[in-house]
Amino acid sequence: MDSPFGRDIAYRVLERCLVLTWSAFEVFVSDLFVLVVNTKPGFAGTLLKDERTKALYNGKEIALLLERYGYDLSRNMGSVLIEQSRLDDLPTIKNIYKVILGPGDVVDKLDDVGLWKLYKTRNVIVHRAGIVDEQFRRDTGSTIPVGERITIKPVDLHQFMNLVGTVGVSIASAVENIIQ
């Protein structure tokens, strides 16, 4: 694999692994969100009233979903809310968990610069074929020249995976404490 073609394939595999790492994080925090709000539906009211999250939801759309859930949303509020607003970007994830978990170490982990860089790198890979633009440079502080392709190194992927695992375990533990 010491050919340019082999290296290119290896870098593309690493890119896909990075995208899957972010995707796994998204799915995990979304599933935990649904679990906690389905278990503790009072959080729905808190999310609908909080300045950081109320714009994510539309009360009229919630009312339209009543029939689908047999006119009983008491154990389905998380499912209803996730249908309206997916947890697919870091700012939304942070705001949702700041409301649910309140201030503290767990929520602070969502402010980790590495998580932000993972999120932004994933977006450049998925939406710009890995080609750096000025927005990416501003958002991440990257020094990669505009127009060049991001190169994901195994060590980068390893760090991102460890970070997602650490943050995920912290959020899962906090959610477990809430629902018990």
143-180 residue pLDDT tens = 999 999 999 999 999 999 999 999 999 999 999 999 98
Residue 80 within a domain = no
pLDDT tens digits for range 62-104: 888 788 888 888 899 999 999 999 999 999 999 999 999 999 9
Q: Does the pLDDT value for residue 6 go beyond 90?
A: no
Q: Do the beta carbons of residue 93 and residue 116 sit within 8 Å?
A: no
Q: What residues form DSSP beta bridges with 131?
A: 149
Q: Go through the chain and tell me how many residues it has.
A: 180
Separation of alpha carbons 149 and 92, rounded Å: 27
- Selection from 133, 146, 143, 152 nearest residue 22 by Cα: 152
Instruction: Decide if 59 is inside a domain.
Output: no
d(CA 95, CA 56): 10
* Within-domain flag for 14: yes
3-state secondary structure string, the chain? CCCHHHHHHHHHHHHHHHHHHHHHHHHHHHHHHHHHHHHCCHHHHHHHHCCCCHHHCCHHHHHHCCCCCCCCCCCCHHHHHHHHCCCCCHHHHHHHHHHHHCCCHHHHHCCCHHHHHHHHHHHHHHHHCCECCHHHHHHHCCCCCCCCECCCCHHHHHHHHHHHHHHHHHHHHHHHHHHC
Task: Using the predicted structure, report yes or no on whether residue 130 has a pLDDT greater than 60.
Answer: yes
Q: Is 68 domain-assigned? A: no
Phi and psi at 131, nearest 5°, equal: -90, 125
Name the β-bridge partners of 149: 131
119 lies in a domain?
yes
Computed over every residue of the chain, the mean pLDDT equals 94
Longest dimension (CA), the chain: 62
Could you tell me the residue range of the domain that residue 171 belongs to?
4-35+88-179
In a domain, 100, yes or no: yes
| Residue at 135 is within a domain | yes
The number of distinct structural domains making up the chain is 1
Q: Is residue 60 part of a domain?
A: no
